[in-house]
Chain A
């Protein structure tokens, strides 16, 4: 009997080591493959320089700027809307409608990103082209709008969750003092929940940065530094998807390992930060 226990325990342990090992192995493998570039000591030049393969320049600068622009803009569009929706669900909840809105938003998480991209190409891009009468419509703005719809469920569900952790007593106290909804939000809800909200923002930024299909399909994929929101841009993820067809030994191909290391480190950093803010909040609640 004891032997069986030990065997199963070691099987469970081995499975955990394997799953955890994969996470580290992905990063390790990417670093090993990027070594030829890293060894030349061009790491920072690569991250900031322009992309011009004909002139021997393989900088990822435009892609990094494009990624950050698109993700930040999606965040800027999505944040106020998500805030409004989570007020609606968590604080106002008129006639129980909040519950229904929450259901709709939860089911939004199941919508495939390729469908957002598809609708983006055939609905949003022509719309943007007609509205601004500039370029093809495949631009940072279109990609950011679609991405903002993609990331808003993440943000809203995190906001609602952190609103619901506000102690009911404090809310009742505001009502008893005759405070209105806005006062309730700014003086009670926000101080209690901003850390949870920050977690939601960080995670949805990571989601916006890590998405491939929307940017690949509707941001236009040009390799120049973008100058305005109506310019086309290429994200790191789309760069990986586009360069993958190139020759395996070429320098172009090696740069995509650099891109994926950059993405890996950025998202891990976001996750570590979000865990940190969650932990802090827990200890505050406990004391």
Chain B
């Protein structure tokens, strides 16, 4: 057999695999669009309620996706509010203060946290709730707050890692200018290092928002339910888009409900992909701005 034969085989193999994978992705997206495009309209989200009334909470939406979308938004906001300060502070500590000796064990722990299956984090949240319910506060049940906290733990390693890496990869010239002018370490961090690495940190945050939006395993254990309306407080149960999709796929009773499931899939897919594209755009745009500033 000639070497050219292998070369050609290699070529065909690569092309074949690439076409197979792209084909699979296109099939998935195409299947959703082909089945779901008809259901994509305002009726899907707001049912028979007037959109403005629903948004300003004047009247309730009973049969639309609006409560689920609102629940997902609340969930994302809450967990990001918890995860950002904690993640940023930890990332700064790892990059700027941490002695090299314990840095290794810290980052191993965060790698492990990133690798823990999300359902285990969900189970943890659930058990902590039950524990607190038994011993401290009997009115506490799985709720929006617990879900948001569990999700915050889930995305924490992403924020820590991106913060740490964007700080560590700053060029030495940026790192040394302010201290040489007499700035303290803290001033250097807040006025020079953090603003310079903003693009990396921001894209990390946006990617973790996407992770919050898509995760189902955590919220199905910690308080997401099929019908709850708009959550009234952080201690009430809530609806969420990914959980709705899961629920519909196992419990749908007629075709119109299934259609709503397809619609919800398309909306969730759109949200996640646009967050992803936005994160990349920010990374590219801001890093160019910083690099090519006159």
Which of A's residues lie within 8 Å of B, judged by CB? 1, 4-5, 8-9, 11-16, 18-20, 22-24, 26, 29-30, 33, 80-85, 87-88, 91-92, 101, 104-119, 121-123, 149, 152, 180-183, 185, 203, 206, 209-213, 217, 237, 240-241, 244, 248, 256-257, 260, 263-264, 267-268, 270-272, 275
Is B121 within 8 A of A110, CB to CB? no
Residue of A nearest to B246 (CB): A114
- B49 CB, min distance to chain A CBs, angstroms: 26
Q: For the complex, give the distance between the alpha carbons of A240 and B249 in Å.
A: 19
The residues of B that contact A85 with a CB separation of less than 8 Å are 14, 17-18, 21
B234 at the interface (CB under 8 A from A): no
Which of B's residues lie within 8 Å of A, judged by CB? 3-4, 6-7, 9-11, 13-18, 20-22, 24-25, 27-28, 31-32, 35, 85-87, 89-90, 92-94, 96-98, 106, 108-113, 115-121, 123-124, 126-128, 130, 153, 156, 160, 184-186, 210, 213-217, 220-221, 242, 245-246, 249-250, 258, 261, 265, 268-269, 272-273, 275-277, 280
The residues of B that contact A84 with a CB separation of less than 8 Å are 13-18, 20
Residue among A118, A206, A248 making CB contact with B265, cutoff 8 Å: A118
- B186 CB, min distance to chain A CBs, angstroms: 5
Q: For the complex, give the distance between the alpha carbons of A263 and B124 in Å.
A: 13
Residue of B nearest to A109 (CB): B276
Residue among B14, B17, B22, B110 making CB contact with A20, cutoff 8 Å: B110
Q: For the complex, give the distance between the alpha carbons of A215 and B55 in Å.
A: 36
Given A88-B15, A213-B246, 10 extra CB contacts under 8 A: A85-B18, A112-B216, A112-B242, A114-B268, A115-B245, A122-B35, A182-B10, A212-B217, A268-B115, A270-B115
A-B contact pairs, 12 of them (CB 8 A): A5-B185, A19-B90, A105-B21, A106-B276, A110-B276, A121-B249, A123-B28, A182-B7, A182-B9, A268-B112, A271-B112, A275-B108
The residues of A that contact B85 with a CB separation of less than 8 Å are 15
Residue among B16, B32, B92 making CB contact with A115, cutoff 8 Å: B32
Residue of A nearest to B105 (CB): A20
The residues of A that contact B127 with a CB separation of less than 8 Å are 29-30, 33
The residues of B that contact A20 with a CB separation of less than 8 Å are 106, 109-110
Is A15 within 8 A of B86, CB to CB? yes
The residues of A that contact B9 with a CB separation of less than 8 Å are 182
Is B97 within 8 A of A26, CB to CB? no
Is B109 within 8 A of A23, CB to CB? yes
Residue among A16, A26, A110, A275 making CB contact with B93, cutoff 8 Å: A16
